[in-house]
Amino acid sequence: MKAPKNRRVFVIGYGVATPLGSTFEKTWKEAVRAKAGFRKVTRCQVDSLSNVVGEIPDWTPMSLDFVSRKEVYNWNADYVILTMAVCHEALERSGLQITQETGPRMACLIGSALNGTDSFRIAMDNLVNRGPLKVSPYLLPNLCANVPSGKAGIHSGFTGPIFSPQGACASGNYAIGIGARMIRDGDCDFALAGGVDMCIMPEIIHGFANMNATIKIVEKDRAYHDPTQASRPFSIDRKGMVISEGGGVLVLAAEEFLSVYGLTPKAEVLGVGWTSDAYHFTLPNPATVVRAIREAIDDAQIAPVDIQYVNAHGTSTPKGDKTEIECLRTVFGKRQLEKIQISSNKSQIGHTLGGSAAIEAALSIEGMQQDIILPTVNHIPDPEFADIDVVPNEARKQGYEIFLSNAFGFGGTNCCVVFRGV
């Protein structure tokens, strides 16, 4: 194999769809206003106290000008069309044109935690109620994890490597890390990297509820009359996460091609750290989480003191939030951690599973561009975190140049990425 080229890798654009809006612009506008995008589920019917979710509010695939009615019908795994949409937006915002020169050198890595679960659900219903001939011939492609990247390639015209990093709720960071390494080593010059999940289905909602991962909203809970308060990371009354639809994609580029194609860098991918827990299928292992954070900082060739902001995994679960803060205290030390702002975008958009890390990276990079730290909304202080600045309830006008993005997932998967502003 050829020796790696050791190139620097930059973020030149991004696209997202979240419960705050179907585009990055719409999401950012609501995020800086400290809004949260939660409501009682409308996509399906559930008999559960975990009935508050994050739904993309204006998501209508048929409104996209690059898909037909037939295509929407055949590709009934919603993550396929959503991947096409966020990749389309990311490329438009990046300014990179897919041409005969750039297309073969563009990779696409889109992770997902659940893939085409909704398509399988439709097929099962058709099989049971309408017979075997009514199972769609598109079922298997809808289930293939790499197909959304392939469909994005068909739409945009790139022919570089495509695959789907499967890291559960850390999938987006894995995609960013692998994409950056591929560019660094010379396997490609550009990459679309991120994650997408469309998870609002009865089985998924009930499954999360039955494993006590999502918040159960009883009449006395403050989210009972105001669903937007359901996700509350680091708050004393946090009770579980809110699952959400969404996706995010970053466009990565090798440094040498920025001037060639007139591209504007927004951030540099500085370092990646990834570990596994060998511990439990849902509970985090503090030792390996700490190692992932330290390896990301070491890979970035900086010191812990250089980190100015942490975009926390922060899912609003009692144990998960506590463990993450304990791990950060171990890495940075209590005194240094008091100087670092730590916030959770999941307080505003919920947990978009495989889509979360890339969405959060995009929001944090935009924050660097605009000198804004997005808040942890719905916050009621927890004395256990009295030393932590979680940027409570309001966006803060404050610059930062280097940040750490944490992502952890079921199965014991941890991936942390360090970005630097430009």
88, 155, 351, 379: the catalytic one is: 351
Is residue 358 within 8 Å of residue 248, measured between CB atoms? Answer: yes
Tally of CB atoms within 10 A around 64: 18
From the list 87, 88, 108, 169, the catalytic residue is 169
Tell me how far the alpha carbon of residue 82 is from its chain's centroid.
13
- Is 419:405 a contact under the CB 8 Å cutoff? yes
Tokens 């996509």 found at: 43
- Name the token pair of 315: 């899912």
**Tokens read off for 232:** 């509350």
Give DSSP secondary structure letters for 122-170: HHHHHHHHH-GGGS-TTHHHHH-TTHHHHHHHHHH---S-EE----GGG
| 313 tagged catalytic | yes
Q: CA–CA distance from 131 to each of 57, 134, 136, 137, 352 (Å)?
A: 34, 6, 11, 14, 34
Number of C-alpha atoms within 13 angstroms, CB side, residue 298? 9
Sign of CA dihedral 335, 341, 346, 348: positive
Whether 351 is catalytic? yes
Element holding 78 (H helix, E strand)? helix 78-94
The candidate with the shortest Cα–Cα distance to 249, out of 84, 117, 422, 65, is 84
Which 8-state DSSP code applies to residue 3?
P
In whole angstroms, give the CA distance from residue 205 to residue 218: 16
| Under 8 Å between Cβ of 49 and 217 | yes
Strands 372-373, 396-397: pairing is antiparallel
Two tokens, residue 96: 């990179």
Considering Cα of 262, then 265, then 268, then 269, what sign does the dihedral take?
negative
Q: Whole-angstrom distance between the N-terminal and C-terminal Cα of the chain?
A: 33
Q: Distances from the Cα of 166 to the Cαs of 93, 139, 411, in angstroms?
A: 26, 20, 11
Two tokens, residue 402: 């280097």
Active-site hit among 313, 379, 415, 416: 313
Looking at the DSSP bridge assignments, the partners of residue 336 are: none
Is 188 tagged catalytic? no
Task: List active site positions.
Answer: 169, 313, 351
